[in-house]
A and B are shown apart, each in its own frame.
Chain A
């Protein structure tokens, strides 16, 4: 079967199945379980209306349950077994992992990512948002800055290969170095420690546009009177920005910061595509992938550790969302 036909058929069956479920469950509810006739018509209608929302929620809840609940437990239980999955070894995988220097590298690097990327993206986003505020053609400038956000991480990584390329005729970094008179070209992705920062630059590049769009909307929402008052009181532009605008958009800054933090904890594609975790650039997800399908016990142990690390940020973020609802 041609792939196109196969795809269309798949979609057709899926769509048909969904529509059929909603239709059929509704009919059963209204006609069979609680028919709107007979002596109890009123009560039946009420009951049907109580159940209906749950009927409609069910597929979504089931789907997410399948995606979340089972796999989390599945991962954890697998991590307690050895490489082949035949022998129960308790926390053996975790013990080996904690003793592995590579794991410590990955953990430190991940910590650096979490500290640096959200901070830098938010900072640059805020800076650019302020600069493009009330700018002529500002929307075009913003759209251009936002562009990297639409590209996938692997696509972005590929583009940055050009910036970082070893060859001074191609790589921007090396071209600049040569222009300043250095002789030999270097591979920036192999410089210990600093290569981590070079990889982070890619994600910062992507996320700056995201931060900027949100923050510039927030900046525009700052009441004009507060700024006027500050200017009349003799505040300079910097003072107005830091003492008047920033405090007022603090909640938005926090949203941006935490959203990017969670994203950073999930990011895997950039390191995978650029260095494959070599040259000391390992982060936890790429460290995990180096064991995946070879020693699933160790891989799932790493996976579980990642989830544990994400948990506090997640809980905090959900608390925030609950407050705002």
Chain B
């Protein structure tokens, strides 16, 4: 039964809620808006809201000056590669734990959880030694591997929680009908888990895309993704605000769109399935 709420209170709550939402959104909104202004309009007093000449020149300048496309491609390759690699390693592992649990399964899962809580700074030095040793510094391959490693626990956990929702009887029935293990995983389990796998892919892609600690420390010019691109604009000297906001907008736009559609996955992944 729904409770009766007085109209007045409802209006006030609505107003307050929307005001907070808009205040929180304002920094993003302002950045995007400024990116379409000229430098002079950007620092106009009073600030211009929509009454300015929209221009795309800032975007052209940013692309020309720092080759945005290269960073974008690196981001796509690194985030995509680490996601695909991670999921391939994770599906069999999650299958084992979800359908053939042993007494150790719980411990293994928790151990994986613990690696995700480990601060990356703690392992930067040894990992960078490995990178030097194998000539992986500033290569996409190296970053794909590292980002796969740091997100692997989340992938395994997410898949595990999704697999657990699939009744084991269905797999058993397939086995009874003569399906081999390969058939079972490929034709029964995977199709049933597609929504779960897709969510996991999406989440992991976003996490890898946003990773800055490793990308900043292990890349230079060659393999640097968008996070490095953003960081390169963060030095305060010679700040041109319209160009700076164009750079910010270009850096956050792809992920903003993805993020809008993947709230649930992000939340589920970041709490290790504790919140569904």
Contacts and interface: CB of A to CB of B under 8 A. Distances in A.
Given A56-B92, A213-B263, A310 B42 contact: no
B66 interface: no
Contacts of A231: 3
Given A7-B140, A154-B231, A214 B17 contact: no
A72, A273, A296: residue with the most chain B Cβ atoms closer than 10 Å: A273
A278 to B, nearest CB: 11
A97 interface: no
A105 B14 CA distance: 43
B196 interface: no
Interface string B104-120: 00101111111101111
Contact of A64 (B25, B153, B233): B153
B209 A324 contact: no
B150 interface: yes
Interface in B170-186: 181-182
Given A64-B153, A149-B259, A288-B121, A228 B1 contact: yes
Smallest CB-CB A-B distances: 9 pairs: A150-B259, A74-B126, A71-B123, A53-B96, A152-B210, A7-B77, A56-B92, A71-B126, A60-B93
Interface stretch (A86-94, A114-122, A192-200, A297-305): A297-305
B192 interface: no
19 contacts: A7-B78, A15-B84, A67-B127, A72-B122, A134-B5, A146-B263, A151-B259, A155-B210, A161-B234, A162-B27, A168-B45, A170-B241, A175-B47, A210-B270, A266-B120, A292-B217, A303-B124, A314-B118, A318-B113
Contact of A152 (B24, B100, B255): B255
Interface in B154-213: 156, 181-182, 206, 209-213
A76 to B, nearest CB: 9
Contact of B140 (A10, A68, A299): A10
B73 interface: yes
Contact of B81 (A14, A167, A292, A322): A14
Contacts of A56: 92-93, 95-96
Given A60-B93, A147-B256, A175-B47, 20 more contacts: A3-B70, A3-B73, A4-B73, A11-B77, A15-B85, A52-B96, A60-B89, A60-B90, A150-B256, A152-B210, A155-B248, A155-B251, A159-B28, A159-B252, A161-B239, A165-B241, A214-B267, A237-B9, A266-B119, A310-B118
B89 A63 contact: yes
A213 B266 CA distance: 10
A166 to B, nearest CB: 8
Nearest to B116: A262
A82 interface: no
A44 interface: no
A163 interface: yes
Contacts of B236: 161
A291 to B, nearest CB: 10
Size range of the chain B interface in the assembly:
35 or more
A285 B43 contact: no
B16 interface: yes
A142, A161, A265, A284: residue with the most chain B Cβ atoms closer than 10 Å: A161
Interface in B236-256: 236, 239, 241, 244-245, 247-248, 251-252, 255-256
Nearest to A288: B121
**Chain A residues touching B, majority SS:** helix
Contacts of B56: none
B95 A289 contact: no
Interface in A48-73: 49, 52-54, 56-57, 59-61, 63-64, 66-68, 70-72
B50 interface: no
Nearest to B256: A150
B268 to A, nearest CB: 10
Contact of B144 (A10, A71, A128): A10
A318 B110 contact: yes
Contacts of B97: 53, 57
Given A4-B77, A60-B152, A169-B45, A262 B117 contact: yes
